Every structure is written in C-alpha cells, then in structure tokens.
C-alpha cells in the first residue's frame, strides 16, 4: 500500500509498503525522498547510522509519521527507521516500520480488497490536524512529551488515566470534537480511546477530557463508528 512519510508537519517522502516479518508485524518499502528530506532530515539520518552508539533521543525528536493512502496513521511500537548511509547515498533508500497494530496487517495488507478505514461521520485527518490534536490533548492532560520514544512509557505524575499512555491521533468525528487516539502503555491492554477534546488549551480538572476506551479497532468500529454512521444517515 502506498504511504506518505512525514517529519513533524513536513512531507519528506513516499513509499510503497509491503509486509515484512509478519510475526513481528513489520512493514517495509523503498523510500522516495522529497526535497524536504534532503533539506531537513538527511543529515540527521546519516549521523544516526554513523555512530556506534546511536542518539535515540535525537532520532525521536524527528517525529516521524507514516500515513497510508487510506488515511490511517501508523503507530509503530518498534519505531521507524530510514536506511540511508552517507557513504552509500546513491543507493536506493528504504524505510522499515516495526511493531504496527495487528489489525493494520489483517485489514490493510492481508486482504485482497482492503477494508475501509473510516465511515461517515468519522474521517481521516491531515498531518497538521494530527499534531494539533495530540498537542491539545497533552495540554488538557497537563503533561509534556517524553524526549525519547523508548522512555515514553515512564509513569507521569498526573491523576488523569490517559497521562500514563503514549498517544497518537487517528481520526475524528466531523460532528463534534471527538477524536480517536491510539493509546499505548506497556502494562495495559487498552489500545484505542475516543476523547472529547474541550479545547481549553490548558490542564483540565475533574477527570476531563472525557474518554471511552476500546480494546480493539473492531470494537471501536462496531460499538461507535457504525452506530454513528446509522445515526448520521437517519
């Protein structure tokens, strides 16, 4: 499946993703850079691969995101890597994505006809909106981003249940401020949460923002997205 690659809000490349090690839920593909990649990212990639002890904090600070052509933003527990070495810079480049959600493999890569990602009134989001939703949720939770992806599961001193989770915005309900987030924590099975953002742009109190957890993407689809679609069409 074709996909777009971003660093922060910048579009840095495209790829045609294929299923790699299925047991590890890995995807890979040739990476076709844009000018933004050469201007803003390549030197960091070269530096990362040149060190015997890679700087993972600097790598995490690049804030890589990959969005499938159907609008789905991949969450990779094993991270994203771009294979681009300075001494071999004229060789084809490659992107590897490790530890994506299992339903992504089953719904989008093992199906002859990939399943739809969203149904009205839910819609996919742009990279700008994804970043905005995540920043707003962190403000409402009163937390700050971890400097390192691999340290992002460290407990945070905050009463709201979501404060201990790694979050990634996925799609939104066009009728209100509900946003579906992928939510991950090393010791918890909760994988998705619909959050009703208040847009206070500051820490909320009394267990706001309101959330509803779902154990799987299918549970979200059948218990929330499809009923919303019926209501939308009625």
3-state secondary structure of 110: coil
What pLDDT does 193 receive? 95
What pLDDT does 153 receive? 45
What pLDDT does 189 receive? 65
> How far is the C-alpha of 129 from the C-alpha of 133, rounded, in Å?
6
- Kindly list the domain boundaries of the chain, sorted by start residue: 2-109, 122-233
What pLDDT does 145 receive? 52
What pLDDT does 150 receive? 42
What pLDDT does 141 receive? 87
Question: Could you state, in chain order, the average pLDDT of each consecutive group of 10 residues for the chain (234 residues)?
Answer: 97 96 88 98 96 92 96 94 92 94 90 85 97 93 57 52 87 94 78 92 78 93 95 88
Nearest CA among 27, 12, 220, 33 for reference residue 106: 27
C-alpha distances (whole Å) from 66 to each of 80, 88, 148, 233 are 9, 24, 18, 31
What pLDDT does 76 receive? 92
């Amino acid at each position: 499946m074709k996909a777009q690659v971003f660093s922060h809000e910048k579009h840095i490349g495209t790829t045609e993703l294929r299923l790699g090690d299925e047991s590890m839920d890995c995807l890979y593909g040739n990476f076709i850079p844009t000018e933004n990649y050469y201007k803003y990212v390549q030197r960091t990639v070269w530096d990362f691969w040149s060190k015997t002890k890679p700087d993972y904090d600097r790598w995490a600070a690049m804030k890589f995101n990959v969005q499938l052509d159907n609008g789905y933003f991949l969450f990779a527990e094993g991270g994203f890597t771009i294979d681009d070495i300075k001494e071999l810079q004229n060789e084809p480049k490659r992107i590897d994505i490790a530890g994506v959600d299992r339903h992504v493999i089953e719904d989008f890569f093992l199906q002859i006809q990939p399943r739809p990602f969203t149904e009205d009134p839910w819609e996919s989001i742009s990279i700008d909106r994804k970043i905005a939703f995540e920043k707003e949720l962190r403000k409402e939770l009163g937390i700050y981003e971890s400097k390192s992806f691999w340290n992002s599961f460290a407990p945070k001193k905050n009463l709201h249940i979501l404060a201990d989770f790694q979050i990634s915005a996925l799609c939104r309900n066009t009728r209100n401020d509900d946003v579906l987030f992928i939510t991950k924590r090393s010791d918890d099975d909760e994988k998705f949460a619909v959050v009703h953002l208040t847009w206070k742009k500051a820490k909320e109190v009394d267990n706001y923002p309101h959330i509803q957890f779902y154990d799987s993407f299918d549970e979200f689809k059948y218990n929330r997205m499809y009923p919303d679609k019926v209501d939308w069409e009625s």
